[in-house]
Amino acid sequence: MDTILFLILAVIAVGCGINVIFQKHPISSALSLVGVMGALAAMYLQLGGEFIAAAQIIVYAGAVMVLFVFVIMLLNAGKERRTSPRIWARWAGPPLLFLFVGAVAYVLESFLPPSGDVRFGGFDGGSAQAIGVRLFTQYLLPFEVTSILILIAIVGAIVLARKEID
């Protein structure tokens, strides 16, 4: 049962991922990416990450993708112009990518110690409570530094996107 669920989610994720890079229109790419994020969120639930699954939906599929779609609409981005990549890029690129995937998959399958199977409910340390306790004790400094980072990002975004005042 878990395997079937995983396979369905994996097919959705990879299908939407392929769609992201083959769609000509940016809005189609963005909406396909929402599909990838949804599938990954369900997968996080399978792996016991309830908090991360919720954050994925709210922050990524919600906020970040709305921002993307908003900018695409705002700029009225049309279809991508057809450009021909360099000849060696076209012929060497995809095989190198397959080589990369194959090499990493080989290393994972042969050198990773047998790590068992994923069972739904096999790990319950991903609740909001458990994450919150770690976040506000052991990881308090990174958390605070991140808040400063966000503040800087907000200011930077406003400065970059504001109307020029002469």
Partner 1 sequence: MPPLPAEPPLTWYLILSVVLFALGIAGFLFRRNIITVFISIELMLNAVNLSFVTFSYKLKQNDGHIFSFFVMVVAAAEAAVGLAIILTVFKNRQTLEIDEVSSLKN
Site for partner 1 in 145-164 (CB under 8 A): 146, 149-150, 152-154, 156-158, 160-161
- Contact flag: residue 140 with partner 1 (CB under 8 A): no
Give the shortest CB-88-to-partner 1 separation in angstroms: 13
| 8 is an interface residue for partner 1 by CB under 8 A | no
Q: Per rule CB under 8 A, is residue 123 in the interface with partner 1?
A: yes
Tell me: does residue 92 bind partner 1 (CB under 8 A).
no
Minimum gap (Å) between residue 87 Cβ and partner 1: 14
Neighbour tally for 15: CB within 10 Å: 14
Give how many residues touch partner 1 by CB under 8 A: 82
By CB under 8 A, name the one of 63, 73, 92, 140 that touches partner 1: 63
d(CA 29, CA 24): 8
Contact between 21 and partner 1 by CB under 8 A: the answer reads yes
Buried b (16+ CB within 10 A) or exposed e, 23-32: beebeebbbb
Tell me if 129 contacts partner 1 by CB under 8 A: no
Residue from 73, 97, 140, 144 touching partner 1 (CB under 8 A): that is 97
Distance CA 37, CA 65 (A): 10
Question: CB-wise, 158 or 165, nearer to partner 1?
Answer: 158
Distance CA 28, CA 140 (A): 39
